[in-house]
Amino acid sequence: MSRPLVIDSVAALRAQIRDWRCDGLSVAMVPTMGALHDGHISLVRIALEKAERCVVSIFVNPTQFAPSEDLDKYPRQLARDLDRMAGAGAQLAFIPDVAEMYPAGFATRISVGGPAAGLESDFRPTFFDGVATVVAKLFLQTLPDCAVFGEKDYQQLCVVRQLCRDLDLPVEIIGAPTVRDAHGLAMSSRNAYLSEAELGVARQLNAVLHRTAAALAAGADESSATAEAGRALVKAGFDKVDYIAARESLALAPWRRNRDGRLLAAAWLGKTRLIDNVEVPSA
């Protein structure tokens, strides 16, 4: 089991990608902010099914954090991440620092709409512009054939697909199923913030969403069903619910009963904000 090549500059990254291309090799990318868990590793394995080389970026992107959010506390554990990448077979870790990604004088930012409207943007208004800017940079730096994103961050997945369509970025975006623990909790780097008692509460999120999605598919009124879901989460021990909403699966337009949908939620447990989503079958 060999550790991946570790590169921290765009110039060295491009040189390595160029060498791979000269050898006729295809390249996949998995963008991350580190603190890798089983969900991330599943993305690497999917990437290596699609391409012969896999680049994993590890960069805690400051432009997607608001001043009040947990940028400084976000978990960073590079040595462990590299071990996990080696076990999954990733060949290259791209670990730029902030000055490499946003050098002095950096003044460009991508503004996104469409699936970025509402939900997360109602509570984190700068988030998706930060995501779109850093993802576009990573794609232009790496020029991968494909990139793999988890469906746990479903709105982000839709935004990245829209970004590639709108800017003609020639990258196939692959959505990977959410990886969960034995109790249904979606894997997330922020789960590390939760105590054992809070983990027990957090595991109710997916269960409530599944019950609500089944009710919607069976004909329940959306407003009533999502309001009941919010009450159920608070009763289970969540401190606050930012949103629970049904949307169409592709563009995240308001859900119509004859369309496949997604039920998306964000809720607070102590100082930790958790998100999740489940499918809503069409009627």
Q: Give per-residue pLDDT as tens, 104-142.
A: 999 999 999 999 999 999 999 999 999 999 999 999 999
Q: What is the pLDDT of residues 246-260, one digit of tens each?
A: 999 999 999 998 888
- Mean pLDDT value of segment 222-245: 98
Residues that are catalytic: 40
Average pLDDT over residues 89-116: 97
Q: Does residue 283 surpass a pLDDT of 70?
A: no
Annotated binding site for beta-alanine: 64
Same domain, 13 and 151: yes
Binding residue ranges: 33-40, 64, 150-153, 156, 179, 187-190
Average pLDDT over residues 146-170: 98
> Are residues 203 and 167 located together in one domain of the fold?
no
More reliable by pLDDT, 258 or 34: 34
Reported confidence tier of residue 1, pLDDT bands at 50, 70, 90: low
Point out the annotated binding site for (R)-pantoate. Answer: 64, 156
Average pLDDT over residues 257-266: 93
3-state SS assignment for residue 90? coil
Residue 149 shares a structural domain with residue 239: no
Closest CA to 20 of 54, 44, 46: 54
Task: Say whether both 150 and 232 belong to one domain.
Answer: no
Boundary-marking domain end, from 123, 143, 176:
176
| 85 and 156 housed in the same domain | yes
Q: Which domain holds residue 57?
A: 5-176
Domain final position from 144, 176, 208: 176
Banded pLDDT at 234 (limits 50, 70, 90): very high
For residues 123 and 249, membership in a common domain is answered with no
Question: What CATH number is associated with residue 264?
Answer: 3.30.1300.10
Q: CA–CA separation, 95 vs 98, rounded Å?
A: 10
Q: Who contacts 283 (Cβ-Cβ below 8 Å, separation ≥6)?
A: 217, 219, 257, 258
Tell me, what's the pLDDT at 215? 96
What is the tally of structural domains in the chain? Answer: 2
The total number of residues shown for the chain amounts to: 283
Domain match, 53 and 158 both: yes
pLDDT value for 68 = 77
Return the pLDDT at 226.
98
SS3 93: strand
Per-residue confidence band for 20, with pLDDT thresholds at 50, 70 and 90? very high
- Binding-site residue set for ATP: 33-40, 150-153, 179, 187-190
- Comparing 47-56, 68-77, 188-197, 272-281, the range with the smallest average pLDDT is 68-77
Is residue 69 predicted with pLDDT exceeding 90? no
Chain position carrying tokens 């329940």: 220
Residue at 139 is within a domain = yes
CB 109 within 8 A of CB 152: no
Residue 67, pLDDT > 90, answer no
CB 191 within 8 A of CB 185: yes
What is the pLDDT confidence band of residue 22, given thresholds at 50, 70 and 90?
very high
Which amino acid is residue 97, in one-letter code? D
111 occurs within a structural domain: yes
CATH number of the domain residue 151 falls in: 3.40.50.620
- pLDDT surpasses 80 at 150: yes
